Amino acid sequence: MYCNEVKSGQCDGRATPCVVKETYATALVDGRNGIGPVVGEFSMDLAIAKAKEAGCAWVTATRSNHYGIAAHYTLRAVEEGLIGISATNTSPLVVPTRAQQCVLGTNPISFAAPSKKDSFVLDMATSTAAIGKVEVQARKELPIPGGWGVDSTGNETRDPHRVLDGGGLMPLGGMEATAGYKGYGLAMMVELMCGTLGGGMYAHHIRKWTSTEHRPADLGQSFIAVDPEAFAPDFQTRLDTFIEEMRQLEPSQCGEPVLVAGDPERAHMQKVKEDGGILYHRNVLQAMETLAEWLNVAKLDTSTTQH
Amino acid sequence: MYCNEVKSGQCDGRATPCVVKETYATALVDGRNGIGPVVGEFSMDLAIAKAKEAGCAWVTATRSNHYGIAAHYTLRAVEEGLIGISATNTSPLVVPTRAQQCVLGTNPISFAAPSKKDSFVLDMATSTAAIGKVEVQARKELPIPGGWGVDSTGNETRDPHRVLDGGGLMPLGGMEATAGYKGYGLAMMVELMCGTLGGGMYAHHIRKWTSTEHRPADLGQSFIAVDPEAFAPDFQTRLDTFIEEMRQLEPSQCGEPVLVAGDPERAHMQKVKEDGGILYHRNVLQAMETLAEWLNVAKLDTSTTQH
């Protein structure tokens, strides 16, 4: 998808972002319709540099594109001993509380903080579930749990096909009785931090995820960095203690330990290390080979492939 | 409760907060065990002043107390044309995903942004419901919706008595299948922004809500202010448009219009204006009269009381 956009000129693969407005602790970055992660890394690194001077900093990027994993940016702050926050608006998939129509994105937010032994890494869509999870259930012809999605009239449904066919995802919290308006509020908050603050596309004005229309994404993102050393000393030690206290809580179900945000990903990284690399399905490897040929770049080194 | 704390010396009614550490865009405030709203207003106003200079600012208060309504502080930023964010840690009432025990507070977060006609005012606990809502259901002997609370073994229950009797509230999202771990993550994020950053009490170390133990609350709060004019011009006009677009969405149920965060409170303010004041139950007026006598202060002017 990204390659198609660059090939067609819908996204400018050569663009470098620039600062269009700046204060001591803020910056507005023009992504110049470049590749999302290029805009994102530029903006987060600027927030980090400014936070090291000012104590905290807020950088908003406009005319950006899909920036991938929100935690990729907040982890850059963590590597520098800072707290990182990042959010992005995305294509409309979520139906606001009481509405019928998809108008908000899954608008993820990430908050990551450094500790000595580990780190706290929250990276969450503001919807209950990702659209991919609904698609998987549809392919398996299995129902979805309540609170995941609505049909085309805005009513809760357990049928994944009805969600995909003119319905949409529910905001975190589900229906109104279970406080779905909070997830809706969070999704709109992210939109304000990204599209509204940056002056780019927002909500239902953003092109659809599967859209083939030829216009720039014009997504917005925000990047916040905060130096914990500007506050009470020894933040990292206190966070280690806090994380460990949560993990040591008595679990409700035997064998299902209490986790802290970032733990599932850490466990997976450990598995990858033990496996000696990432295990890909052969179809993925085939697709990457085709892509490499198309782009005329070196093929993926699969010398450690396990058959 | 607040008066009792001051009378007993558990909270210092005469304390004035002070800045103990400062950078260009941050400050650590020592609340000196004073009254929560005194510490809160001092800290938010400092964040506002700093944001006007630096573009954004982050102030964290430690040794504070219950600070009341989170949006009270973010609305101070809105009055100055700024975006305001505030959060506080609170007494343990929430059971983390997979756990059995109440260790986190309902840890509310508020995000408010100014627009020309209105404003966006999100103020939400990071739990699905407030404990008060569970108490009301218990008094009425009515069940609670799924996703609100767990019993003392950490399992979902519809019986409000089981939540109140050794159980606890669920984080926003409910159980694990409906992404309750996101609400748990948000509650822990607030704790990091407040207790961990400020170096005060946190999570289950905070005294219980109904506790009679004689020790300072030592709560933490964070206050963030951001100047939208430091980013793309005309933020307030764009926000007005966005808010109006959301309100105009086709509702799923006839007569239940789509709302924006802050709308229910605005509607209530309008009602109060039309009523010519706040309508109190006579028991509340009686309690306030008794309190005024005890404190030796002027009684509430009830000259417009409707009988």
Interface of A with B in 30-59 (CB under 8 A): 53-58
One-letter amino acid at A168 equals G
CB atoms A242 and B100 under 8 Å: no
Strand, coil or helix: what is B16?
A: coil
Of B24, B96, B154, the CB nearest to A24: B24
Q: What average pLDDT does this structure show over B204-232?
A: 91
One-letter amino acid at A227 equals D
- Please provide the average confidence, as pLDDT, over all residues in chain B: 95
Please count the CA atoms within 13 angstroms of the CA of A115 that sit on its side-chain side.
20
Number of A to B CB contacts under 8 A, please give it: 273
- Does the pLDDT of residue A199 top 60, yes or no? yes
- Nearest alpha-carbon partner for B121 in B88, B75, B69, B82: B75
Q: What average pLDDT does this structure show over B61-81?
A: 98
Interface of A with B in 267-306 (CB under 8 A): none
The answer to whether B210 contacts chain A (CB < 8 Å) is no
Q: How far apart are alpha carbons B95 and B106 in whole angstroms? A: 10
- Going B230 to B236 to B237 to B239, the CA torsion angle's sign is positive
| Structure confidence at residue A307 (pLDDT) | 47
Angle between helix A235-247 and helix B180-191 axes, rounded to 10 deg: 150
Residue range(s) of every CATH 3.30.1370.60 domain in chain B: 2-128+170-230
pLDDT in tens, B98-153: 999 999 999 999 999 999 999 999 999 999 999 999 999 999 999 999 999 999 99
The answer to whether B60 contacts chain A (CB < 8 Å) is yes
B34 and B18 Cβ atoms separated by less than 8 Å: no
Q: How confident is the model at residue B214 (pLDDT cuts 50, 70, 90)?
A: confident
- Going A247 to A250 to A252 to A257, the CA torsion angle's sign is positive
Nearest CA in chain A to B251: A99
- Nearest alpha-carbon partner for A300 in B293, A286, A16: A286
- Does the pLDDT of residue B20 top 70, yes or no? yes
The answer to whether B21 contacts chain A (CB < 8 Å) is yes
Selected for mutation to probe chain A from B43, B58, B60, B106 (highest A CB count within 10 Å) is B58
pTM over 0.95: yes
- Does the pLDDT of residue B227 top 80, yes or no? yes
Q: How confident is the model at residue A300 (pLDDT cuts 50, 70, 90)?
A: confident
Contacts of A227 in chain B (CB under 8 A): 23, 26
| Structure confidence at residue B304 (pLDDT) | 61
Interface of A with B in 161-190 (CB under 8 A): 172-174, 177-179, 181-183, 185-186, 188-189
End-to-end CA gap in chain B: 28
Contacts of A56 in chain B (CB under 8 A): 25-26, 56-58
Q: How far apart are alpha carbons B216 and B219 in whole angstroms? A: 9
| Structure confidence at residue B213 (pLDDT) | 76
- Does the pLDDT of residue B244 top 60, yes or no? yes
The answer to whether B84 contacts chain A (CB < 8 Å) is no
| Structure confidence at residue B302 (pLDDT) | 75
pLDDT in tens, A247-282: 999 999 999 999 999 999 999 999 999 998 888 889
B242 and A191 Cβ atoms separated by less than 8 Å: yes
Q: What average pLDDT does this structure show over A184-190?
A: 98
| Structure confidence at residue B196 (pLDDT) | 98
Q: What average pLDDT does this structure show over B49-76?
A: 98
Q: How far apart are alpha carbons B262 and A185 in whole angstroms? A: 10
Of A182, A202, A257, the CB nearest to B124: A182
Q: How confident is the model at residue A1 (pLDDT cuts 50, 70, 90)?
A: confident
Nearest CA in chain A to B174: A173
Nearest CA in chain B to A192: B239
Of B155, B188, B242, the CB nearest to A261: B188
pLDDT in tens, A144-156: 999 999 999 999 9
| Structure confidence at residue B209 (pLDDT) | 74
| Structure confidence at residue B307 (pLDDT) | 47
The reply to whether ipTM tops 0.85 is yes
Q: Percent of chain A scored above 70 by pLDDT?
A: 98
Distance of alpha carbon B8 from its chain centroid, rounded? 25
- Does the pLDDT of residue B249 top 50, yes or no? yes
| Structure confidence at residue A84 (pLDDT) | 98
Q: How confident is the model at residue B1 (pLDDT cuts 50, 70, 90)?
A: confident
The answer to whether A21 contacts chain B (CB < 8 Å) is yes
Contacts of B202 in chain A (CB under 8 A): 238, 242
- Compute the nearest-CA separation of B261 from chain A (Å): 6
CB atoms A62 and B232 under 8 Å: yes
The answer to whether A223 contacts chain B (CB < 8 Å) is no
- Does the pLDDT of residue A304 top 90, yes or no? no
Q: What average pLDDT does this structure show over B264-292?
A: 93
Assign domain B2-128+170-230 one CATH number from 3.30.1370.60, 3.40.50.2300, 1.10.10.60, 1.10.10.10.
Answer: 3.30.1370.60
End-to-end CA gap in chain A: 28
Tokens in use for B68?
A: 């009341």
| Structure confidence at residue B305 (pLDDT) | 56
Of A145, A173, A238, the CB nearest to B196: A238
CB atoms A242 and B189 under 8 Å: no
- Compute the nearest-CA separation of B299 from chain A (Å): 38
Tokens in use for B299?
A: 């009684």
pLDDT in tens, B169-194: 999 999 999 999 999 999 999 999 99
The answer to whether A103 contacts chain B (CB < 8 Å) is yes
| Structure confidence at residue B204 (pLDDT) | 96
Backbone φ, ψ for residue A157 (5° rounding): -140, 150
| Structure confidence at residue A305 (pLDDT) | 56
CB atoms A261 and B26 under 8 Å: no
Of B113, B197, B249, the CB nearest to A192: B113
pLDDT in tens, A107-143: 999 999 999 999 999 999 999 999 999 999 999 999 9
Q: What average pLDDT does this structure show over B216-227?
A: 97
CB atoms A99 and B202 under 8 Å: no
Strand ranges across the sheet with A149-150: A156-157, A149-150, A168-169
- Nearest alpha-carbon partner for B226 in A49, A232, A189: A189
The answer to whether B130 contacts chain A (CB < 8 Å) is no
Strands B18-22 and B26-30: antiparallel
CB atoms B250 and A101 under 8 Å: yes
Strand ranges across the sheet with B18-22: B18-22, B26-30, B56-64, B219-226, B83-88, B109-114, B119-124
Angle at B111 between CA A187 and CA B77, to 5 degrees: 145
The answer to whether A9 contacts chain B (CB < 8 Å) is no
Q: What average pLDDT does this structure show over A22-38?
A: 98
| Count of Cβ atoms closer than 10 Å to residue B107 Cβ | 28
The answer to whether B260 contacts chain A (CB < 8 Å) is yes
